[in-house]
Amino acid sequence: MRLAQRVQNLPPYVFADVARRIREMEAAGRRVINLGIGSPDMPPPPFVVEAMQRAARDPANHRYPGYTGTPELRRAIAAYYRRRFGVELDPDGEVLPLIGSKEGLAHVMWALVEPGDLVLVPTPGYPTYRYSVFMAGGEVFFLPLQPQNGFLPDLDAVPEEVYRRAVAMWVNYPHNPTGAVAPLDFYRQVVELARRYDFAVLSDNPYADVTFNGYRAPSFLEVEGAREVGIEFNSLSKTYNMAGWRVGMAVGNADLINALMRVKSNVDTGIFLPLQAGAVVALEGPQDWVSERNAVYQERRDVLVAGLRALGFDCQAPRATLYVWARVPDGWTGESLADALLERAGVWMTPGTFFGPGGEDFVRVAFTVDVSLIREALERVERALSE
């Protein structure tokens, strides 16, 4: 049979391939410490799980859930944005729950991109940004993120003809994989460019509440005029340790929200109702546990950064996210080191090239395992590098 060209041209999702390799090693009896995936290892608080369980016992909650989420969940999302960012949203026109934000990142390209259209994509960056453009038949213009610029794109260096062709721009701060953060002035410049050249801004903000040392991450939507040009994606995965629940959101410009809903309504039927009930309780319930959780991450971050530096990696302690973006020691590339450590030490770090051009000399190291495993991983790496 013949496969569509879009599939033939699409590389395998890199994290899925690595997961297969690790499963094979573990099936052969090796214990792998996976520092390559940003999946929270701690559960959500009991009151969230209990709310989901109560809802699951109601027979009425096993029907089709509807395309736009329950009114209760949309209102809870709007209330979160009001409380957290001071942003007022219409729950019925500017909020759309998603089956995890990742599906929204992909589906929004179907709403915006015609074959040959150009999308501005940061690199290094989350792979779905570029892959979703390719699946929609579009073209990518990479915005390089350099350490000397704090991993912010140099928007003044983009040729005007590129801006004129662009239909959308991705922005993502706090940033995966570098852990960089952005000030509101950066978003103001983005909004000004989007107005001038008539493209959509797509802000991906799932790490806004995974922050350290008193840092408070903003929302793109806090900037005046942002809602006129774009939307923001967010998720309960990282904020509330609910990655497996697959509950996300898109909020902002009503026209873009409606366009995304039209795509989604033709390909899915919404989030399981008990998961929505749990999400409402997570958003509306006590929030003090989030800062306590972040303190655990911060301890892990500090142990990881100190250990990597002692081993010859060049890295900084991020102010947000779950990752350390580390330049590898001399004599290695990110890919060669990651492969060597997986084989020699049973430790996996994600090569920077997984995130696009500009990551060749880096690895992304997640602190989503217990601090004792981080210390063990560092000891294994030290032994492997001394061989």
For 21-41, what is each residue's pLDDT tens digit?
888 888 888 899 999 989 999
Amino acid at 128: T
Using alpha carbons, select from 305, 316, 355, 348 the residue that is nearest to residue 131.
355
What the block records as the tokens of 125 is 């960056």
pLDDT on residue 12: 65
The stretch 228-253 carries a mean pLDDT of 97
Specify the fold of 5-44+289-385. Aspartate Aminotransferase, domain 1 (3.90.1150)
Burial 266-277 (b: 16+ CB within 10 A, else e): eeeebbbbbbbb
pLDDT on residue 26: 86
Using alpha carbons, select from 381, 372, 320 the residue that is nearest to residue 346.
381
Beta bridge partners of 153: 145
Q: Which helix (H) or strand (E) element contains residue 195?
A: helix 184-197
Cα-trace Rg, the chain: 21
Q: How far apart are CA 135 and CA 132, in angstroms?
A: 5
Q: How far apart are CA 339 and CA 30, in angstroms?
A: 15
pLDDT in tens, 191-223: 999 999 999 999 999 999 999 999 999 999 999
Query: Which one has a higher pLDDT value, 21 or 387?
Result: 21
The stretch 59-69 carries a mean pLDDT of 95
Amino acid at 380: R
pTM of the model: 0.94
> Residue 119 burial (CB < 10 Å; 0-12/13-18/19+)?
buried
pLDDT on residue 97: 98
Residues 6+ apart with CB under 8 A from 85: 218, 219, 221, 222
pLDDT on residue 19: 82
Instruction: Give the neighbor-by-neighbor strand order of the sheet with 95-98.
Output: 95-98, 248-252, 230-235, 200-204, 166-171, 118-123, 139-144
CA atoms in the 13 A half-sphere facing the CB of 237 = 24
pLDDT in tens, 253-266: 999 999 999 999 99
Distances (CA, A) of 4 to 8, 56, 138, 164: 6, 39, 15, 30
Q: How far apart are CA 223 and CA 242, in angstroms?
A: 28
Dihedral, CA of residue 80, residue 220, residue 97 and residue 55, to nearest 10: -30
What the block records as the tokens of 72 is 């209760």
Residues 6+ apart with CB under 8 A from 230: 191, 194, 200, 201, 202, 203, 220, 252, 253, 256
Q: How far apart are CA 129 and CA 34, in angstroms?
A: 24
Residue 13 pLDDT level (bands cut at 50, 70, 90): low
Q: How far apart are CA 27 and CA 128, in angstroms?
A: 29
DSSP one-letter code for 218? -
Q: How far apart are CA 13 and CA 131, in angstroms?
A: 9
Q: Mean pLDDT of all residues in the chain?
A: 95
CATH 3.40.640.10 location in the chain: 47-284
Cβ(36)–Cβ(287) below 8 Å: no
Specify the fold of 47-284. Aspartate Aminotransferase; domain 2 (3.40.640)
CATH 3.90.1150.10 location in the chain: 5-44+289-385
pLDDT on residue 16: 75
Instruction: Specify the residue for token string 């997986």.
Output: 342
| 9 pLDDT above the threshold of 80 | no
The stretch 184-193 carries a mean pLDDT of 98
